[in-house]
Structure 1
């Protein structure tokens, strides 16, 4: 399927059904559904797309030129209360022929809320932190050394995760979690949806930095390595996370650094997908944590239903877990390395 590509905004007043809108997009806290809703008050919107990889500029495409003109005249260079009071900078734009072809999401519907996923134990909180808090967290990790892997960079706190064994060495304690992690734990405890799954003594944090096009191959976090719930905070850029649950026993724990997403060897699995916007936090507990493989497709572009979202220049995730000191005795032995 060819992806739509747009020219830079025109400097003239020539009419077009496509508007280039600056100071607007996921990187400034505005999701595509909200943008569609606001612009939709001026006429039927056929699509909202990322204009580039910054996440701060979008293309809003209308069905009719007159609707685009009405939106431009009403919103250009004026504070829009429905979009957080942001002052938008709007010009006309035009389509260019498609320049690349990709397959994304394998036609699976991308959910925006975990209630639509129908996976027990999964919970997503939007806007878990503010834009200012996001900047502070990114500055905190960028002031510390990164470890380079094949395609991304990582930082480990509490205990180091060993990708070769998909486990941790409990004899190699790195020290207490940094102050910025303690702040996150305090915030988690303030959300009822998350605090019920907050185990005492979360003691391991992995920070991942993903450049565009880099994701994670399908895996279940090793049962014998971590106990209880897993929290994952998304910063800087959006992505889609997909989930698979195998129903015929044909499943494999994948290396986090596998070069190939090849777990489609079995057709006997359930599949779900969810959009993770910046500053959201995802909880995996119970069945979602122990029985479902999760992964991030290795794409530079994601389709979120009718919208095209280009990955940002970076995405940073904070994964917070509790290291297990004994064998796992969960209720999902078919997926459990301690019980196989």
Structure 2
């Protein structure tokens, strides 16, 4: 190997493999796998390559994570507020609740993912996602059953990186109930119909229609079994505001 050959950096990889936001070009990928038991739910396997996955994981390790929740989180787009610690006084909780933080926009390093979703006709250039939440689940960490905030359009798309996981879906008796922002997600009336869906590494989960509006979803800790101590999943959830 020549000692004068320039070694590629992470930015070099992304820059050479993504279009700009102004010139997104649809990219053909594999067909979406439809889950007939949950109308509107689809999974696209191998949405990113192994090389792209590793580059994304390295990129996120360099970012600043939110650490006030049970799991590490990164927000892109919109605003968010911090979670008061359990030891906080009432006065401290009120002050923290009033603090609204503005998240940075989705970085250019993720733009090739949006272009690829446009290529699958999940979005258009005019309706491309402006919001992305990055969650790191480790060990037995999970998230309780909920429906995505109804201020966001269909579809809601989630990319799985590192290791795969199960997502459990609960059918609701009525649509548009049990939103994560309603504070009443656990009280939403269900039909008792439950489906577990496997999300392979590098796959894209797409929720629209009934899957988006009439099914709560959750990450169940107990599904990981003995592998939990060494387990980690990074998820990227992309959303578009209804006002867009």
Asked if Structure 1 and Structure 2 have the same fold, meaning a TM-score greater than 0.5 normalized by the shorter chain, the answer is yes
Task: Give per-residue Cα distances to partners, 1:27-73, cap 9 Å, x unaligned.
Answer: xxxxxxxxxxxxxxxxxxxxxxxxxxxxxxxxxxxxxxxxxxxxxxx
- Tell me the alpha carbon deviations over residues 64-123 of structure 1, each in whole angstroms, 9 at most, x when there is no partner: xxxxxxxxxxxxxxxxxxxxxxxxxxxxxxxxxxxxxxxxxxxxxxxxx95344212111
In 1: Cα distance, 2:183 partner to 2:142 partner: 9
Corresponding residue of 1:217? 144
Match of 2:155 in 1: 229
Secondary structure of the corresponding residue to residue 129 of structure 2: coil
In the TM superposition, residue 176 of structure 1 has moved relative to its aligned partner by: 3.2
Q: Does 1:185 align with 2:114?
A: yes
Give ranges in structure 1 of 5+ residues lacking alignment. Answer: 1-112, 165-170, 303-308, 327-340
- 1:162-197 per-residue CA deviation (whole Å, 9 max, x = no partner) reads 587xxxxxx975443201221111122233xxx145
Confirm or deny: 8 A CA contact 1:212 1:299 kept in the other structure: no
How far 1:248 sits from its partner (Å)? 6.8
2:162/2:234 contact within 8 Å kept? yes
1:123 aligns with 2:42: yes
Deviation at 1:228, TM superposition (A): 2.5
Unaligned runs of 5+ in 2: 1-31, 84-99
**Counterpart contact for 1:155–1:208, Cα < 8 Å:** yes
The equivalent of 1:146 in structure 2 is 65
Equivalence for 1:6: none
TM-score, normalised on structure 2?
Answer: 0.68
Q: Is the 8 A contact 1:208 1:318 kept in 2?
A: yes
Counterpart check, 1:310 vs 2:223 = no
Name the structure 2 match of 1:242.
Answer: 168
In 2, Cα distance between equivalents of 1:266 and 1:292: 11
Instruction: Confirm or deny that 1:268 pairs with 2:185.
Output: no
Q: Structure 1 residue 297 and structure 2 residue 234: aligned?
A: no
Higher Cα radius of gyration: 1
1:1-340 to structure 2, matched below 5 A, reads 115-162=34-81, 174-191=103-120, 195-198=121-124, 200-224=127-151, 226-247=152-173, 252-254=178-180, 263=186, 268-299=191-222, 301=224, 310-311=227-228, 312-325=230-243
The alpha-carbon deviation at position 315 of structure 1 amounts to 0.8
How far off its partner does 1:233 sit?
A: 0.2
Q: 1:295 to 1:172 in 2, by over 3 A?
A: same
More strand by share: 1
> Once the 2 structures are TM-superposed, how far is the Cα of residue 161 of structure 1 from its aligned partner?
4.3
SS in 1 for 2:153: strand
Q: Is the 2:178–2:188 contact (alpha carbons within 8 Å) kept by the matching residues of 1?
A: no
Q: Please report how far the alpha carbon of residue 265 of structure 1 lies from its aligned counterpart in structure 2 after TM superposition.
A: 9.0
Deviation at 1:242, TM superposition (A): 0.7
- Residues in 1 aligned to 2:37 and 2:133: alpha-carbon distance in whole angstroms: 27
Query: Which one scores higher on RCO, CA 8 angstroms, separation ≥ 6?
Result: 2
Give the Cα–Cα distance (whole angstroms) in 2 for the partners of residues 248 and 157 of structure 1: 31
CA 1:325–1:161: 2 relative to 1, 3 Å:
farther
Using the alignment, how far apart are the partners of 1:176 and 1:146 within structure 2?
Answer: 15
Count, aligned residues: 195
SS for the counterpart of 2:202 is coil
Contact kept in structure 1, 2:145 and 2:186, CA below 8 Å: yes
* Number of the residue aligned with 1:46: none
